[in-house]
Amino acid sequence: MPAIACYGPLGAGHINPTLGIVTELVRRGHDVTYYAPRPFGERITETGARFVPVTSTWESMGRDTLPQMHGAELVRAMGLLLDETRALVPTLVDAKVPDVVLHDGTLAWWGRILAHRWGVPAIETWPNLVSNGHWSMNAYARINPLSPRFLRMVLRIGRYLRTQGIKDVGGFLQGTRADLRIVTIPRAFQYAGDTFTDGYAFVGPGLTERRFQAAWSPPAGDPAVLLVSLGTAYNDRPDFFRMVAESARGRPWHVVLAVGDLVEPESIGPVPPNVEVHAQAPQLAVLEHASAFVTHAGMGSTMEGLAFGVPLIALPQMAEQRANADRIAELGLGRRLDPDAVTAEELWRAVDDVAADPGVRDRLAWMRGEIEAAGGAAAAADAVERVLDR
pLDDT more than 70, % of the chain: 95
Asked which of 134-138, 139-143, 173-177, 289-293 is least confident by mean pLDDT, the reply is: 139-143
Rounded Cα distance, 203 and 383, in Å: 9
The per-residue pLDDT for 189 is 98
Residue 352 CB partners (closer than 8 Å, separation 6+): none
Under 8 Å between Cβ of 387 and 180: yes
Residue 313 CB partners (closer than 8 Å, separation 6+): 292, 293, 294, 295, 334, 335, 337, 347, 350, 351, 354
Q: What is the pLDDT of residues 196-235, one digit of tens each?
A: 988 999 999 998 777 776 788 899 888 999 999 987 666 6
Q: The domain that contains 321 carries what CATH number?
A: 3.40.50.2000
Q: What is the pLDDT of residues 109-137, one digit of tens each?
A: 999 999 999 999 999 999 999 999 899 98
**Nearest Cα to Cα of residue 80 among 18, 157, 137:** 157
Q: How many distinct structural domains can be found in the chain?
A: 2
Q: Is residue 107 part of a domain?
A: yes
Q: What does the pLDDT average to over 261-272?
A: 80
Decide if pLDDT at 71 tops 90: no
Decide if pLDDT at 66 tops 80: no
Q: Is residue 359 part of a domain?
A: yes
Q: Are residues 259 and 345 in the same domain?
A: yes
**67 band by pLDDT with thresholds 50, 70 and 90:** low
Higher pLDDT, 280 or 252: 252
Q: Are residues 368 and 381 in the same domain?
A: no
Q: What is the pLDDT of residues 147-190, one digit of tens each?
A: 888 899 999 999 999 999 999 998 998 888 899 999 999 999 99
Decide if pLDDT at 366 tops 90: yes
Q: Is residue 172 part of a domain?
A: yes
Q: Are residues 100 and 186 in the same domain?
A: yes
Q: What pTM did the predictor assign?
A: 0.93
Q: Are residues 354 and 379 in the same domain?
A: no
Q: Is residue 71 part of a domain?
A: yes
Q: Is residue 115 part of a domain?
A: yes
Q: Is residue 219 part of a domain?
A: no
Q: Are residues 139 and 90 in the same domain?
A: yes
The per-residue pLDDT for 233 is 64
Q: Are residues 116 and 18 in the same domain?
A: yes
Q: Are residues 288 and 333 in the same domain?
A: yes
The per-residue pLDDT for 111 is 98
The per-residue pLDDT for 150 is 86
The dihedral sign for the CA sequence 272, 276, 278, 284: negative
Burial of 354-374, coded b for 16+ CB within 10 Å and e otherwise, reads: bbebeebeebbeebbebbeeb
Task: Please tell me what DSSP assigns to residue 289.
Answer: T
Q: What does the pLDDT average to over 20-33?
A: 97
The per-residue pLDDT for 69 is 58
Q: What is the pLDDT of residues 332-343, one digit of tens each?
A: 999 999 998 999
Establish how many alpha carbons lie within 13 A of residue 261's alpha carbon, considering only the half-sphere containing its beta carbon: 5
Q: What does the pLDDT average to over 251-266?
A: 86
Q: Are residues 8 and 90 in the same domain?
A: yes
Q: Is residue 237 part of a domain?
A: yes
Q: Are residues 140 and 236 in the same domain?
A: no
Under 8 Å between Cβ of 335 and 297: no
The per-residue pLDDT for 1 is 80
Q: Which residue range forms the structural domain that includes residue 255?
A: 224-372
Q: Are residues 120 and 47 in the same domain?
A: yes
Asked which of 54-58, 131-135, 272-276, 279-283 is least confident by mean pLDDT, the reply is: 279-283
Q: Are residues 142 and 41 in the same domain?
A: yes
DSSP state letters, 80-117: HHHHHHHHHHHHHTTSPP-SEEEEETTT-HHHHHHHHH
Q: Are residues 145 and 68 in the same domain?
A: yes
Asked which of 49-53, 83-87, 212-216, 322-326 is least confident by mean pLDDT, the reply is: 212-216
Decide if pLDDT at 63 tops 70: no
Average predicted confidence (pLDDT) for the chain: 92
Q: Is residue 52 part of a domain?
A: yes
Q: What does the pLDDT average to over 67-78?
A: 71
